[in-house]
Amino acid sequence: MSNKLIDFQNISKTYGMQTVLDDFNLYIRENEFLTLLGPSGCGKTTTLRILGGFETPDAGRVIFDGKDITDLPPNKRQLNTVFQKYALFTHMTIAENIAFGLKIKNKSKQYIHDKIKYALKLVNLDGYENRMPDSLSGGQQQRIAIARAIVNEPKVLLLDEPLGALDLKLRQDMQYELIRLKNELGITFLYVTHDQEEALTMSDTIVVMNQGYIQQIGTPEMIYNEPENAFVADFIGESNIISATMVEDRLVKILGVNFPCVDEGFGQNKPVDVVIRPEDIDLLKPGEGSIDGVVTHLIFKGVHYEMEVMANNYEWLVHSTDMFPVGTQVSIHVDPFDIQIMKKPESEDEEAVNIEE
């Protein structure tokens, strides 16, 4: 995981009046599972299409394995795409679908035959050679689309929300399948999704995007535990995002109450945003914690209870395995390392601005 396999350099793309990507920079290392994560319409597919060769950037270069491929047509690029809605060839059998790329490259009959067998085994669909795509379920079609791509031994596999059309159970199974595939094949994955859980489960690196700008790049743990701004915190999982004041290093005033924390370097008496994950809040007896309040909502979620606690005019979202009925007087406690401090954006616009890498 060292050298840059793919390097987007200063990519810009505009459709009519709409700027989708503006001076976009990102590199992907060899064997990395990198996920572009962001809300619908933030430019994920556009980024993928530029790498696949289906879209030409207005400015900037795409470097692949040290070579500039910006002007190369899709069929000359050593990467393969798994499209959002499978895009199988409905007039061909499964075997013909998988053989498509190999036949174009004039591989021998024996080689193609072996590859089809191998790929179908890999995606757990042995024996489906002579079926037509229409006779397969969505999950099966998606696996064929993956098989069709990987038999070409691409250096990079691009996947555009490949699990988007599947139901929850199947989606979770496929997530494990993809991780397994990645480990078995040792190729680089560029994955696109708007589903934060999917991104957290599978990725080595997550790139959080909003309106064409990168918000944060990091490992799933970093993105979840140390979101760099309110957008990331809000997008990744549920959280309490509260305006606060950084009194001094390692002390933050939240809703008028001083909380010890572990962050430094924000200056004195500076406005900040704090993020506190619902599962990081402990509910104690009144008077024992930092802020007293009362439970206003209670929902059983299976693994935990979800509660809302009204304290100092703020509805705190709390996840706990202990149950506190509505009306219970409680006190909120947060450990210092569970408080994540973020620089406040100076204006609304800045919320969508490119961060420094």
Partner 1 sequence: MKSKRLLAGPYLFWSVSFVIIPLLVIVYYAFTSDGGTFTLANLSQITTPENLKALGISLLLSFISTLVCLILAYPLAMILSQKQVNQTSFIVLIFILPMWMNFLLRTMAWQTLLEKNGVINSILGFLHLPALEIINTPYAIILGMVYNFLPFMVLPIYNVLIKIDPNVLNAARDLGANPVQTFLKVTFPLSIPGVISGITMVFVPALTTFVISDLLGGGKILLIGNVIEQSFKQNSNWHVGSGLSLVLMIFIIASMALVAKYDKGEGGTAF
Residues that bind ligand ADP (CB under 6 A): 15, 20, 38, 40-46
Per partner kind, with CB cut-offs from 5 to 8 A, the member of ligand ADP, Mg ion, partner 1, none near residue 42 is: ligand ADP
Instruction: Count the residues in the chain.
Output: 357
Of all residues in this chain, which one has the CB nearest to Mg ion in the complex? 45
Least distance to partner 1, CB of residue 350, Å:
36
Closer of 50 and 275 to ligand ADP (Cβ)? 50
What is the distance between the alpha carbons of residues 96 and 98, in angstroms, rounded to a whole number? Answer: 5
Least spacing, CB of residue 182 vs partner 1, in Å = 19
Q: Which does 43 bind (CB under 5 to 8 A by kind): partner 1, Mg ion, ligand ADP, none?
A: ligand ADP
Instruction: Return the half-sphere exposure (C-beta side, CA atoms, 13 A cut-off) of residue 148.
Output: 26
Single-letter residue type at 162: P
Helix pair angle (94-104, 109-122), 10° resolution: 130
Footprint on this chain of partner 1 (rule: CB under 8 A): 52-54, 73-75, 80-81, 83-85, 87-91, 100-101, 104-105, 132, 148-149, 152
Considering only 24, 34, 45, 82, the residue that binds Mg ion (CB under 5 A) is 45
Select 188 or 340, whichever has its Cβ closest to partner 1: 188
Nearer to ligand ADP, 41 or 237 (CB): 41
- The residue of the chain with the least Cβ separation from ligand ADP equals 45
Residue placing its CB nearer to ligand ADP in the complex, 206 or 242 = 206
Residue (of 264, 194, 217) closest to 39 by Cα position:
194
Residue 73 touches which of ligand ADP, Mg ion, partner 1, none (Cβ within 5-8 Å per kind)? partner 1
- Shortest spacing between CB 7 and partner 1, in angstroms: 20
47 binds Mg ion (CB under 5 A): no
Nearer to partner 1, 86 or 224 (CB): 86
Least Å distance between CB 54 and partner 1? Answer: 5
Closer to partner 1 at the Cβ: 149 or 209? Answer: 149
Minimal distance, residue 131 CB to partner 1, in Å = 12
For residue 21, the minimal CB distance to partner 1 (Å) is 19
| Residue found by looking up tokens 């999982």 in the block | 237
Structure token digits, residue 4: 């840059």
20 vs 309, which CB is nearer to ligand ADP?
20
Distance of closest approach, residue 13 Cβ to ligand ADP, in angstroms: 8
Report the partner that residue 148 touches, choosing among Mg ion, ligand ADP, partner 1, none (CB closer than 5 to 8 A by kind): partner 1
53: left (phi over 0), alpha (psi -120 to 50) or beta: left
The Cβ of residue 105 has, within 10 Å, a number of other Cβ atoms equal to 10
Taking the least distance from each CB to ligand ADP, the nearer of 42 and 334 is 42
CB of 50 to partner 1, least distance (A): 13
Residues at the interface with Mg ion (CB under 5 A): 45
